[in-house]
Structure 1
Amino acid sequence: MLRSGRRTSAALSPKARKAVLTAHVIASVAWIGLSVCLLVLGLTGLLHADPQVSRAAYIALGVVVTPGQPISGLALVSGIALSVGTKWGLLRHWWVVVSLVLTAVMTALVQLSLAPLMRGAAAKVLAAAPEVPVADAVGGDAVSIVVAPAVAITALSFVAAINVYKPWGRTSRSGPAHPAATRRGASPGSPATSRSRR
């Protein structure tokens, strides 16, 4: 639910903001956790000495990656809702712009690249004859399967960090700072204004 106020023309009500923020935090944490699981499975498939364990790890990739598509979409949509529906705005602060751009790019990569890659590897292993080595069945995708979640973990951790520290100040589209913040000498990312967001 949106409400009108002096600070923003359209802001989420406190209950709606908390609900959206909760969804955003859960989705973001789940996304990082899922990426860690994919990395562990990819490394297991690539490095484990037991072919049966490697085979099981690659097959599991096709299942584990499935929640990544809705989770990444929820993280992006809830992030946009928090930006538009709160005083931070969509284009007022550089940390918001960078955060949303990176999240959008990562979401697109999950949908168009990561999920097909993991499912493809699982399908190759399942279709391979028992005598075919797992490494041969997966082929050149073995390295990509490790690199992709490692990049995701790095990017998502960076997004989490800038959401905490809120660096780089305001954009040229932000307009003047809120008078109350100016009187207190607080910047948009200062503890005073950060508490108002929460």
Structure 2
Amino acid sequence: MRRPARYRTGTVVGMTATTRTQISAKAPARRRQNTGRWRMSPRARKANLFLHLIVSITWLGLDIGLLTLTITGLATEDPQTLRAAYISMRLFGDLLLIPAGLLTLLTGLVLALGTHWGVTRHYWVLAKVVLTLTAVTLTIFSLRPGLHEAAEAAIATPLDDSGPDTLYPPVVSLTMYVTMVALSVFKPWSRTPWARDR
């Protein structure tokens, strides 16, 4: 049996208004309750992403600069150019590389933790974190001491003994940085097992 139009209209309109009120009031709370994770506001996410891109590009540029200086030092026959190249590399390692690497790691972790990506939910994010942490560790404990040794050797020893081993760290670092960029762009692989219950 069909109900009167007045009854149907009043019921539908009343239910729609009530439902809309309940959804607008409770949906954000329900969303926060379901995720149980801290999320950045859109403005904070954009600011952190901007900072992350700046320091990441800086880190990549510094490594390209190191590679250029290394090739210059190995190819030149001018002792002054050789010394200038390796002393500049030592300054890069002391003043710029470590802060850029640490800021890249920090801002990347904040982005992962404060967004839906997470740190362990996707293989590509987890791979980026591991690569960044490895690169920062190698910069502090391997690359920086190597740059100091190369600079001292360039000043104190003949041209042929000035540390050709400095060619390999920038190449390895550049490979890692390009890999991280590719992971950010293409986001390969599937979710990790730790993401199934989230």
Aligned to 2:180: 159
Aligned to 1:100: 129
1:121 aligns with 2:121: no
Q: In 1, Cα distance between the equivalents of 2:52 and 2:179?
A: 16
- Report the more deviating stretch, 107-116 or 53-62: 53-62
Spell out, residue by residue over 1:61-112, the C-alpha distance to the aligned partner (whole angstroms, 9 max, x if none).
Answer: 1112220001000001111111111000111000001110011000100111
Contact 2:82 2:154 in 1 (8 A): no
Give 3-state SS (helix, strand or coil) of 2:191's partner. Answer: coil
Q: In 1, Cα distance between the equivalents of 2:69 and 2:149?
A: 15
1:110 aligns with 2:139: yes
After TM superposition, the structure 1 = structure 2 runs for residues 4-153 of structure 1, keeping only pairs within 5 Å, are 5=32, 7=35, 9-66=37-94, 67-126=96-155, 128=156, 132-136=157-161, 138=162, 141-142=163-164, 144-153=165-174
Amino acid at match of 2:76: H
Q: How many residues align?
A: 167
Bigger radius of gyration among the two: 2
Q: In 2, Cα distance between the equivalents of 1:27 and 1:19?
A: 13
Contact 1:93 1:170 in 2 (8 A): yes
Give 3-state SS (helix, strand or coil) of 1:88's partner. Answer: coil
Q: In 1, Cα distance between the equivalents of 2:36 and 2:191?
A: 16
Q: In 2, Cα distance between the equivalents of 1:108 and 1:152?
A: 11
Give 3-state SS (helix, strand or coil) of 1:10's partner. Answer: coil
* TM-score, length-scaled by structure 1: 0.78
- Report how far residue 32 of structure 1 moved: 0.7
RMSD: 1.9
5+ long unaligned stretches in structure 2? 1-28
Spell out, residue by residue over 1:122-165, the C-alpha distance to the aligned partner (whole angstroms, 9 max, x if none).
Answer: 12333x1xxx42332x2xx32x2111101111110110111111
5+ long unaligned stretches in structure 1? 178-198
Amino acid at match of 1:172: P
| Same amino acid, percent of matched pairs | 37
* TM-score, length-scaled by structure 2: 0.78
